[in-house]
């Protein structure tokens, strides 16, 4: 099965973004914290713990009484969910036959008693596979409860949607590119070694794999690029480009362009009218680069394009500024 279009949206439950499981009914065999980790989980054939087979996911013990197991996840930020993936990768004879998902919107700590809303009805799951479900309810949620019937293991839960934070209440520098604020990496020409989404994650990159890295390009004059849709239309006053961990493979030079779309207008790469934010400039290895005076046009912009010459890797890109009504 090909992945649905909603998988191109932000994973609101991702641990890299700040999502995390809060509690569960049982995680005897494998800890609930695995549910929101990156990737799909791995399988190590001969690895065991004192409780049984080591599994990279959330796995409860075999249930011998009535009821079902569940896990509550706090999303990284409030958002509208378009679809989910209940991934049972490597769980074959021990996957749950069915699952459902409920949601709630709560400010602050989750109380003991809440009124959950079902957003994915009880549905069958396939073993060892992606289980995609489109979400029709367009409410804005902060927490989910994954119910499995009656027990078993799930490798990962991906929650794809759109951030719905009120940025007007934000104090201080606003990173218009940050995924936690609603920024999205929407297109690039190459991400052979690592994904473009890493560019706008909250924390500094952990290693060379935690960034955006293109393959070596032998074409004379090559330019690799990535396009980021900003969290909101804004003016950009400070830029931080971090090459942390990229030493023998950092881009030789870079530049940044911006464009502005009217409200309701859909981005089309070939029709975008780009203007320079920062003219082409050199980069250093394994270093954080900050720019203010070098910005030749502050906007307002709705999208930016990072260009790297001729190829290489960038860890993080921060685009600080303010909201604009223009």
Residue 107: partners with Cβ closer than 8 Å, 6 or more residues away: 142
Strand partners, 148: 69, 99
Superfamily of domain covering 5-163: Galactose-binding domain-like (2.60.120.260)
Domain ranges across the chain: 5-163, 168-323
Q: Same CATH fold, 168-323 and 5-163?
A: yes
CATH of domain 168-323: 2.60.120.260
> pLDDT tens, position by position, for the chain (326 residues)?
689 999 999 999 999 999 999 999 999 999 999 999 999 999 999 999 999 999 999 999 999 999 999 999 999 999 999 999 999 999 999 999 999 999 999 998 998 889 999 999 999 999 999 999 999 999 999 999 999 999 999 999 999 999 998 888 777 789 999 999 999 999 999 999 999 999 999 999 999 999 999 999 999 999 999 999 999 999 999 999 999 999 999 999 999 999 999 988 899 988 999 999 999 999 999 999 999 999 999 999 999 999 999 999 999 999 999 999 87
pTM for the structure as a whole = 0.92
DSSP labels, 229-275: EEEEEEEEEEEEEE-TT-SSSS-SEEEEEEE---TTPPP-GGG---E
> Quick one: the chain helix, strand, coil %, rounded to 5?
5, 40, 50
């Amino acid at each position: 099965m090909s992945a649905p279009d909603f998988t191109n949206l932000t994973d609101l439950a991702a641990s890299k973004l700040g999502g995390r499981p809060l509690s569960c009914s049982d995680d005897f065999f494998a800890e609930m914290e695995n549910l929101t980790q990156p990737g799909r989980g791995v399988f190590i054939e001969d690895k065991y713990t004192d409780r049984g087979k080591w599994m990279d996911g959330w796995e409860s013990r075999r249930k011998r009484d009535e009821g079902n197991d569940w896990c509550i996840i706090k999303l990284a930020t409030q958002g509208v969910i378009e679809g989910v993936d209940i991934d049972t990768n490597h769980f074959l004879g021990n996957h749950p036959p069915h699952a459902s998902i409920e949601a709630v919107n709560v400010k602050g700590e989750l109380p003991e008693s809440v009124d959950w809303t079902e957003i994915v009805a009880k549905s069958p799951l396939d073993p060892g596979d992606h289980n995609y479900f489109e979400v029709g309810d367009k409410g804005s949620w902060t927490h989910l409860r994954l119910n499995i019937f009656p027990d078993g293991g799930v490798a990962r839960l991906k929650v794809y949607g759109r951030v719905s934070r009120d940025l007007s209440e934000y104090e201080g520098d606003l990173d218009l590119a940050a995924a936690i604020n609603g920024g999205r990496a929407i297109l690039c020409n190459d991400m052979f070694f690592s994904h473009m989404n890493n560019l706008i994650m909250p924390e500094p990159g952990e290693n060379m794999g935690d960034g955006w890295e293109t393959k070596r390009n032998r074409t004379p004059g090559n330019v690799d690029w990535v396009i980021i849709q900003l969290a909101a239309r804004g003016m950009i006053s400070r830029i931080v480009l971090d090459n942390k961990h990229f030493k023998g493979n950092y881009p030789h030079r870079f530049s940044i362009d911006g464009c502005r779309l009217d409200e309701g207008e859909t981005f089309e790469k070939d029709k975008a009218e780009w203007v320079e934010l920062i003219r082409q400039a050199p980069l250093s290895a394994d270093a954080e680069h900050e720019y203010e005076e070098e910005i030749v046009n502050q906007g307002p912009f709705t999208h930016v394009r990072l260009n790297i010459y001729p190829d290489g890797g960038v860890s993080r890109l921060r685009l600080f500024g303010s909201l604009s009504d223009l």
